[in-house]
Structure 1
Amino acid sequence: MTSKCLLCQSTIIHELRPQEILAGKKLMPDYLCQRCRAEFQLIRKPCCPTCGRSGSIKQCQDCQMWQQQGYSNFQHRALFKYNTAMHDYFKRYKRYGDYHLRLVFQPYLLRALRHFSPPFIYVPSDFQHWQSRQFDPVWGLFSEIVKLTPALIKLPTTKAQAQKSRQERMQAPQFLQFNSQYTSVLQAQQITILDDIYTTGRTIFHVHDCLRQQGYTGKLVSLSLAR
């Protein structure tokens, strides 16, 4: 079984293991060669037990701050560190609009999502960004491996999150609105929030606020590709 690395275009040869042959399931191709894969860093312990930030087994300062602001019961997981390779990946995927790159991390996301339960809601792009890219980056990452519920609407902002300083992110007013067509998700015992990058946590907690204001009282957990 062969495929092409979507980052460097080299050929990837996947030798089927006996258990894969016997399982008789359609395999997900590899889209990341070993050389490119080595440039990305999986988040491993020690890391913040609440958000996955690398460096210490103690809760990080960001999470302590959010708890002091009343967000006492939350749990976030991220798969990869936001290093130079991840920065370059998102530059190609989001800024230059290379939609094929949505596939690169699908095997990792699929494995991680087995530990989460539906409904899955995601942080959407606003209409202006969707219009310029012609796709939604978070939808692209997750929509082919889980059923997504478009329960959120992103309102226009003067500046994209990626262009904001840390202080601007933390002080950003609410930019998410609940889509009233999907009130059924509010009956779930747990909602899983999906995003591409967790930086300060501001966006994830905008989602928390949005859902709580709609009367949701269940558990909220979240997952992102990078932290």
Structure 2
Amino acid sequence: MKCLICHDEWMPRMSFSMLLTLQQPDVCCSRCRSRFVLIDGNVCDRCGRPTEQNVCADCMMWQRRGSALINNRSLYIYNDWMKEIINRFKFRGDYALIEAFRHEVCTFFYKHFSSDVFLVPIPLSSSRLVERGFNQAEAIASLLSLPMIFALRRIDDEKQSKKTRRERFVGGKFCLTNEDVAGKRIVIIDDIYTTGATVHEAAQLLYDAGAREIYSFTLVRS
């Protein structure tokens, strides 16, 4: 078979346990797979950043602001390899790359979150959605087979990657839709946690709309 990422021919290693559980073989060759770095070891209790501190300086700031987000968990470190993959996935429209993350996303997510939650993917603006052809946060959420609620609408059309750190902390990125979140346990889904401004703003809106508990999960922690 061909590796989903480098397209080289390779033979996935099969094990007896894979045959028993009907687990699908990896869609990536071992060389490409080894370049993804999972977040492991000590992390900030609030944002999931690798650190020796229980709560990092950024999260202390969010706590002082009274953030509605209970915590964030992220799967991968944003190394040069992941930057390349995210660029292909997000900006060059290579949607099939989402399959490279299926197994690890599901395993990690259910380790940290229960199955009685509702997923709220961070939305794109309508113009950005037309440009890319899909919403990367919704693609990640689709791997989990849990109910999605499209409770947010993007009203800021400027790319987050083009903003300075200071500009990212300015609110007004989203507004609420008519979807009901009252009393629900919510996990916000996004691709990258950088400053946290996006998920914290989204969490506050959902909290104001009556959500009971709000967490977030991102594929990558920069």
Same fold (TM over 0.5): yes
2: CA distance, partners of 1:73 / 1:135: 26
Maintained 8 Å contact 1:152/1:176: no
Partner of 2:182, secondary structure, is helix
Query: 2:209 matched to 1:214?
Result: yes
Maintained 8 Å contact 2:155/2:172: no
Matches within 5 A, 1:173-188: 173-180=171-178, 182-183=179-180, 185-188=181-184
2: CA distance, partners of 1:204 / 1:128: 21
Maintained 8 Å contact 2:69/2:204: no
Maintained 8 Å contact 2:193/2:220: yes
Partner of 1:101, secondary structure, is helix
Maintained 8 Å contact 1:78/1:223: yes
Change (3 A) 1:48 1:12: farther
2: CA distance, partners of 1:152 / 1:87: 28
Structure 1 unpaired stretches of 5+: none
2: CA distance, partners of 1:178 / 1:138: 17
Maintained 8 Å contact 2:13/2:25: no
Q: Identify the residue that residue 127 of structure 1 maps to in structure 2.
A: 126
2: CA distance, partners of 1:73 / 1:141: 20
Given candidates 181, 190, 196, the residue that maps to 2:191 is 196
Change (3 A) 1:22 1:96: closer
Question: TM-score with structure 1 length normalisation?
Answer: 0.87
Query: 2:88 matched to 1:92?
Result: yes
Query: 2:98 matched to 1:102?
Result: yes
1: CA distance, partners of 2:143 / 2:44: 29
After superposition, the C-alpha distances for 1:155-209 in whole angstroms (9 at most, x for unaligned) are 23242111111111122x22222221x31x3232x21111110011111111111
Query: 2:74 matched to 1:75?
Result: no
Given candidates 216, 220, 223, the residue that maps to 2:217 is 223
2: CA distance, partners of 1:170 / 1:49: 21
Partner of 1:106, secondary structure, is helix
Change (3 A) 1:179 1:133: same
Maintained 8 Å contact 1:170/1:202: yes
Change (3 A) 1:22 1:41: closer
Count of residue pairs brought into register by the alignment: 218
Change (3 A) 1:140 1:160: same
2: CA distance, partners of 1:149 / 1:125: 15
1: CA distance, partners of 2:106 / 2:40: 18
Percent of paired sites with the same residue: 29
Maintained 8 Å contact 2:44/2:51: yes
Change (3 A) 1:17 1:29: closer
Structure 2 unpaired stretches of 5+: none
* Deviant stretches of 4+, over 4 Å: none
Maintained 8 Å contact 2:192/2:218: yes
Question: TM-score with structure 2 length normalisation?
Answer: 0.89
Maintained 8 Å contact 2:4/2:27: yes
Change (3 A) 1:64 1:154: same
